[in-house]
Amino acid sequence: MSVHFKIPCIPSIFNKTSLIFCFCIFLLINETNAQVISKNFKETTESLISKAPQSYSDLELVLKPIQRDTSLMRYFANASAKKNYYVGVSYALNMLGIAYRDYAQYNKALKLHQMALDTVVQYNNTESQIYSLSMLSTVYRQTVAIPSALDCAQKAIDLAEAIEQPSIDIKRSLNYSLNSIGQIYRTIGEFDLAVDNFQKLIVLETELGNTRAVAMNYKDIGECLEAQGKLEEALENYSKSIALNEKVGSNRIHVEAYLGLAHTYVHQGKIREALDIFDSILEIANDLGDKKIISEININIGWAQIQNNNFEEANYYLNKGLEMAKKYNLLTEMEEAYSFLADLWETQDDFKKSKEFFMEAAQVEERISNDRNKRYVADLISRSETGKKNNQIQVLAKENEIINLKLRRNQNTLLISALLVCLVTLLLYILYRQTQLKSDKKVLTLEQSMLRSQMNPHFLFNSLNSIKHYIINNEKKNAVQYLNKFSKLMRKILESSSIREIPLAEELETVSLYMNIENIRFSNEIDFEIIVDKDVDPHVIKIPSLILQPFLENALWHGLSSKEGDKSIILQISKEKKGHVTISITDNGVGREAAEKLKESKVLKRKSVGIDITKERLANFSKEYQNTFELEIQDLFDKQGKASGTRILMHIPTT
């Protein structure tokens, strides 16, 4: 892309003379480019300016094939400015802004889109204003400037919704702004809101016959579902996007949809298939020139290579993606690259490097997750909803006045009826809200109790004492390794506590960390084994978060802590009943009867509430399924009838 000029700053409030002056400077800066413009394009430009169409779609009929040619767009902007054709100027500046955005030169893109907006504000061309605001919102969102992105998108929506009979172009710009709102929801982690938004847009874009936009929205839904761990649903939406894009032929959608597809494959452990896709789209991404996508693909190749145990290749691609992200200030990609590099070096037992990259990732994440941004977003959304409701109330009030004038004779009757309706409605609403609040309070209480049971103060205290012990004995490697496992477990517990249900694979990873830490305190005497039957896919099955740890803790402290000799816990996942997954936890401890006697003899008794909380959470979880959960506790005995352990059987519904 050939771009060598600086954009003159157009003030937000300006007169016609100052606008022409700015574009004259613009023309002088780019005078050398005029030599390469063909005679045919000059004639086309003169013809368009003489007709002066006021709609972008009319300009696109002629200029779409060359709208990414920056030299021609600069020439068209200059020629339009000379003739005071400001819609043409705005169109050309927006196309230049898109070109810079695609090359990750966001500061220049922002200046161009702002200049395009300022050009048409004074001349009251609403369509051009909506389009320019939508483009500004997109650039701000890609630079993680969430408040500004939301502000521009909302202004565009307000302008569009104020038009009684909007044109197709305005409807498309409105949908583009609504897509930006959905993208913002996704950025701040409100995935359900984002999915609802994109699904509504699919209907709207289908009505307009905009297949490209429909394909893009399916891709966006896939990304949200993948972030929620709904991998199969994500794959379905990516596939729909790819199928629709075959009709459109957009390289950008092709790259982004296949990138999401490959990313999901890595989550599912299909590393070879994922790497093949990454390799196939990297060349297309290079042709597009979008530095953000190129950086993201390289980072994802590095991540896949970590899973493939190809650490040299992983390090090469992660650093390649990181260098590009740092060069173009791509914060999200920087944080992702640092996190994967931390995992890479931890896998190779280089805990010093792992910690360094972990700290870098945390610093970038802090820049992204700015609390003021989130508060601003919440406030702006709230003000937007309040404004709409106030408008609706004002309209209803005016209609009510008209009705009262027409029906003055029956004023008293209508007033009494209205009061009765309001009272009944208010009463029903209060009853509904009380029921809803009680239900929400019960769920919240369960989740808080669950979190407290996971963050057991005895466990935290003993773990920190173990770390202190390693440090005192100058066992640096053991201390770092223990601290890494402890911090990762705490992070997983905190992350899982905010999610109602998670894939079984993540739960197994969490309890493995928990058992590793507890086993160190048991001098590695406990043989802990996880067995997953071949017909069970732990990535697909969903269970309540942090549901297994209380049973394992029970087995450790009541079954095995007082036992002499070999100690083992076996966690097995199987499908014994249709519509259920069976999880069994078997220990070879002293048995429940002996454990109860030992518990009574102790001065300090460990009060275990985790099992009761877990039963309530399982009952609450099962309400959404046709089947119910079952929990069995079996006492195990040897041939002589002596207690030989305990088995917990959980039958959790999956359909």
pLDDT, tens only, 621-631: 666 655 577 88
Mean pLDDT of the chain: 80
How large is the C-alpha radius of gyration of the chain?
31
> Is residue 34 in some structural domain?
yes
Least confident span in 90-99, 557-566, 613-622: 613-622
What is the β-pairing status of strands 567-574 and 630-637? unpaired
pLDDT given at position 315: 93
pLDDT given at position 385: 54
pLDDT given at position 593: 80
With bands split at pLDDT 50, 70 and 90, how would you rate the model's confidence at 529?
Answer: very high
* pLDDT, mean of residues 289-318: 91
pLDDT exceeds 70 at position 493? yes
% the chain with pLDDT above 90: 22
What is the β-pairing status of strands 567-574 and 526-532? parallel
Give the helix/strand (H/E) hosting 531.
strand 526-532
Q: Are residues 271 and 294 in the same domain?
A: no
| C-alpha distances in Å from residue 218, one per residue of 212, 277, 284, 464 | 10, 19, 21, 47
pLDDT given at position 294: 92
Least confident span in 140-144, 260-264, 632-636: 140-144
pLDDT digits over 310-344, tens only?
A: 999 999 999 999 999 898 888 888 989 999 999 99
pLDDT exceeds 80 at position 619? no
Last residue within a domain, chosen from 68, 100, 124: 124
Q: Are residues 255 and 311 in the same domain?
A: no
pLDDT given at position 395: 62
* pLDDT, mean of residues 374-383: 50
> Is residue 72 in some structural domain?
yes
pLDDT given at position 459: 60
Q: Are residues 482 and 614 in the same domain?
A: yes
With bands split at pLDDT 50, 70 and 90, how would you rate the model's confidence at 647?
Answer: very high
Query: CATH no. for residue 237?
Result: 1.25.40.10
pLDDT exceeds 90 at position 217? yes
> Is residue 145 in some structural domain?
no
pLDDT exceeds 80 at position 264? yes
With bands split at pLDDT 50, 70 and 90, how would you rate the model's confidence at 3?
Answer: very low
- Separation of alpha carbons 238 and 217, rounded Å: 10
Least confident span in 5-14, 253-262, 341-350: 5-14
Q: Are residues 308 and 259 in the same domain?
A: no
- Separation of alpha carbons 108 and 605, rounded Å: 67
> Is residue 397 in some structural domain?
no
% the chain with pLDDT above 70: 78
- Separation of alpha carbons 226 and 550, rounded Å: 28
Least confident span in 222-226, 269-273, 391-395: 391-395
Q: What is the DSSP string of 90-123?
A: HHHHHHHHHHHHHTT-HHHHHHHHHHHHHHHHTT
Q: Are residues 86 and 23 in the same domain?
A: yes
Least confident span in 109-113, 231-235, 491-495: 491-495
pLDDT digits over 452-469, tens only?
A: 444 455 566 666 777 777
Q: What is the pTM of this model?
A: 0.50
With bands split at pLDDT 50, 70 and 90, how would you rate the model's confidence at 371?
Answer: very low
Q: Are residues 115 and 207 in the same domain?
A: no
**Packing angle between helix 251-267 and helix 211-227, nearest 10 degrees?**
20
**C-alpha dihedral over 439, 384, 221, 303, to 10 degrees?**
-90
pLDDT exceeds 70 at position 497? no
With bands split at pLDDT 50, 70 and 90, how would you rate the model's confidence at 494?
Answer: confident
Number of domains, the chain: 4
Q: Are residues 219 and 101 in the same domain?
A: no
Cβ-proximal residues to 390 (8 Å cutoff; 6+ apart), any chain: none
* pLDDT, mean of residues 162-170: 84
> Is residue 648 in some structural domain?
yes
pLDDT given at position 462: 63
With bands split at pLDDT 50, 70 and 90, how would you rate the model's confidence at 24?
Answer: very low
Q: Are residues 600 and 627 in the same domain?
A: yes
pLDDT exceeds 60 at position 1? no
> Is residue 294 in some structural domain?
yes
* pLDDT, mean of residues 423-440: 75
With bands split at pLDDT 50, 70 and 90, how would you rate the model's confidence at 240?
Answer: very high
User: Helix, strand, coil % (nearest 5) of the chain?
Assistant: 70, 5, 20
In which domain, by residue range, is 525 found?
477-653
Give the helix/strand (H/E) hosting 633.
strand 630-637
3-state class (DSSP) for residue 433 = helix
Q: Are residues 261 and 295 in the same domain?
A: no
pLDDT digits over 55-113, tens only?
A: 888 888 888 888 878 888 999 999 998 988 988 999 999 999 988 887 778 889 999 99
Q: Are residues 495 and 637 in the same domain?
A: yes
Last residue within a domain, chosen from 245, 276, 307: 276
Least confident span in 346-355, 466-475, 534-543: 466-475
pLDDT given at position 600: 66
pLDDT given at position 220: 92
Q: Are residues 489 and 627 in the same domain?
A: yes
* pLDDT, mean of residues 428-453: 62
Query: CATH no. for residue 609?
Result: 3.30.565.10
pLDDT given at position 551: 86
Q: What sign results for the dihedral spanned by CA atoms 185, 263, 530, 581? A: positive
Considering only residues 381 and 450, tell me which one the structure prediction assigns the higher pLDDT.
Answer: 381
Last residue within a domain, chosen from 252, 276, 300: 276
pLDDT given at position 554: 84
Q: What sign results for the dihedral spanned by CA atoms 378, 381, 386, 387? A: positive
Least confident span in 180-194, 514-528, 612-626: 612-626
> Is residue 530 in some structural domain?
yes
pLDDT given at position 248: 87
With bands split at pLDDT 50, 70 and 90, how would you rate the model's confidence at 183?
Answer: confident
Q: Are residues 297 and 272 in the same domain?
A: no
Cβ-proximal residues to 300 (8 Å cutoff; 6+ apart), any chain: 259, 262, 263, 266, 274, 278
* pLDDT, mean of residues 8-23: 42
With bands split at pLDDT 50, 70 and 90, how would you rate the model's confidence at 604?
Answer: very low
CB 608 within 8 A of CB 549: no
> Is residue 242 in some structural domain?
yes
